[in-house]
Amino acid sequence: MNAPRTRRGTVGRDGAVSRPASGRKAPPPANLERFRAVIHRVLSRGEEHPSLVTEIACTLGAEILEGLLPPGCDLNSVELARRFRTSRTPTREALAILEKEGLVEIPPRRRPRVARHGRAEIREIYHVRAAMLALVATEAGEHAAPAEIAELREIAVRMAAAAAKGDANDYFWNNVRFHERLAELSRNRTLQRLLDSLMLRSLRFRRRTLSQPERIQRSIADHARLVGALEDRDLGLAAALVRSNVLGALRSLEALLEAEGGARGAAG
């Protein structure tokens, strides 16, 4: 029997999506596993879900974040049930979880689809994230021990090393770990849960901006200054640096989206 197909590739027996030969380069398997781990960590902090439902949600969510399932892509519960060798109920529950996390849209009387985020919503996400991360930086500066701040310094050094090698993928994942650790050092679990959900909505966009060399260089400088502010216990400066970094990323993303929109218009 032929393997079921998605709009972006073929689903193998292990549930993985293989790219067509003519498609863009397949992502490293490690990226999908890392995205799966991030999503699993976020979901494990909320309500308990059956293991199969969580597995489906993590797999689909990772493929969405990696771009294998692009914005607007249909998510047919019948095909997904066939893919994961289960009934439609677990797949529907998994899609409902991803809708709650902002990765899937379930319109009335229509198939679920990968969420599309408009410009206004993207701005809202970044402005809320900037405000929350400013609070995280303030609370981390209040509560973190010197040895814990030194961990952030080490991650920042790894970020700089990745950038020096031209490895944007490694830079991105070290950046994710930096902000995960910063949130942990705030000792504020409520804030961490809220940030986690917001993180899933923003990861696709953060990855795009952090693939740009000029944005990476600005990010390196911002994170080095942030660690310095935390070491000095300058909480106001730490909060201002985080806010500036996030809003700077938003400006870079908006410029990128504007350029892409202009290119599509010229091609049309």
Domain CATH for 146: 1.20.120.530
Domain count, the chain: 2
Residue 48 pLDDT grade (very low, low, confident, very high; cuts 50, 70, 90)? low
- Kindly report the CATH number assigned to the domain that includes residue 88: 1.10.10.10
Predicted local distance difference test score (pLDDT) of residue 49: 65
Residue 26 pLDDT grade (very low, low, confident, very high; cuts 50, 70, 90)? low
Give me the percent of the chain exceeding a pLDDT of 70.
85
Q: Where among 114, 139, 156 does a domain terminate? A: 114
Alpha carbon 29 to its chain centroid, in Å, reads 16
Q: Which residue, 104, 87, 78, 56, is CA-closest to 204? A: 104
261 and 129 in a single domain? The answer is yes
**Residue 210 in this model has a pLDDT that exceeds 50:** yes
Alpha carbon 138 to its chain centroid, in Å, reads 23
**47 or 188: which leads in pLDDT:** 188
145 and 228 in a single domain? The answer is yes
Q: Where among 53, 83, 114 does a domain terminate? A: 114
Q: Taking all residues of the chain, what is their mean pLDDT, rounded to a whole number?
A: 87
Segments forming the whole domain that contains residue 189: 119-267
Predicted local distance difference test score (pLDDT) of residue 30: 87
66 and 138 in a single domain? The answer is no
183 and 163 in a single domain? The answer is yes
108 and 32 in a single domain? The answer is yes
Task: Look at the alpha carbons of 212, 249, 132, 93 in this order and tell me if their dihedral is positive or negative.
Answer: negative
| 177 burial type by CB count under 10 A (0-12 exposed, 13-18 middle, 19+ buried) | middle
Tokens found for residue 9 = 């590739």
Of the given ranges (85-89, 117-121, 195-199), which has the lowest mean pLDDT?
A: 195-199
**141 or 4: which leads in pLDDT:** 141
**Residue 185 in this model has a pLDDT that exceeds 60:** yes
69 and 110 in a single domain? The answer is yes
223 and 151 in a single domain? The answer is yes
Predicted local distance difference test score (pLDDT) of residue 18: 40
Predicted local distance difference test score (pLDDT) of residue 267: 37
Residue 47 pLDDT grade (very low, low, confident, very high; cuts 50, 70, 90)? low
227 and 252 in a single domain? The answer is yes
Q: Where among 86, 114, 142 does a domain terminate? A: 114
Distance CA 249, CA 253 (A): 6
185 and 94 in a single domain? The answer is no
Residue 12 pLDDT grade (very low, low, confident, very high; cuts 50, 70, 90)? very low
94 and 198 in a single domain? The answer is no
Length of the chain in terms of residues written: 268
Separation in Å, CA 179 to CA 76, 95, 98: 34, 27, 22
Tokens found for residue 35 = 């995205």
Residues 67-89 have a mean pLDDT of: 94
